[in-house]
Amino acid sequence: MQLAEKLYMLGLISYPRTETTQYSKNYDFKGTLNKFINENNDVKELMNNINENVLMLNEGINMGDHPPITPLRKIKKTKLTNNETRLYDLICNYYFASLSSDMSYDNIQYELNINNKTYKSTCSIIKEIGFSKFLPYEQKQFLKANEILKSNIIYEINNIGYEEKKIEDYITESELIEEMEKNHIGTDASMSVHIDNIVRRGYVKVDDERRLKPTKLGIALIEALETVEPEIVLPKNRATIEAFVKELADGKNNYENVMNFALNFYKKKYYNISGQVNKLQKIFAKYVN
């Protein structure tokens, strides 16, 4: 968010703290694209093929706050740091992708018969590249056509190897954000702050692959809370509060009801936990050193 706010202050992107994903009916798509037509041939082609009437039917959600994040103008990238440049490019490419056609692909299932044993697998091949022209990493999950085995052909296997690799089952930051979105925990603007908080407080560490590994302190905290107050660690609790706040924002509930519900909800759990401090201490003691 700090990088995004820097880009906003420089006039390069629109206001970044927003959850709205739907363009307004009077948004000037071509006007914005026109500022980037010299970027590359793909943008020029997009400019020629764009249909603003169709774009009005695109899916999206209007959260009643600010418009979606879009690029506003070009700038010499030498004036930006490496991370600022990467974020700026990402926002530009997402904007171009959002105005592009869909990507289409075929799902293929194939079988291999080895020593009378059948092994099944599936893959996909891209038919129309669509929006992934601007987001090439979206294509990594798809195989290219020439990598798919042809049917009814006998293949000679020259070498067979077997390797067992232990995979640590830790989720990445992006995977955690996906789970937070599914469970309605936090907003687009606050999710990264929540993750930063658990890192700064020493509950998890981020490894080189951006996976979140729980520390002894984090494991002890979860075990302790699950022992004395299991419900407090469930995603539904935060989601329930978020839902009440949304009702307040939408005018479907009033401030007193929402505030009293939240205070009473956590007050009961606070008294329950504080009354079982001895249990908490015993659990934390197991993880010392």
Q: Which residues are catalytic?
A: 15
Q: What would the two tokens of residue 213 be?
A: 């590994």
Decide: 132 and 151 in contact? Cβ < 8 Å. Answer: no
- Amino acid 162 reads Y
Nearest to 124 by CA among 110, 138, 144: 144
Q: What would the two tokens of residue 63 be?
A: 């959260």
Please compute, for residue 173, the number of CA atoms within 13 A of its CA located in the half-sphere on the CB side.
16
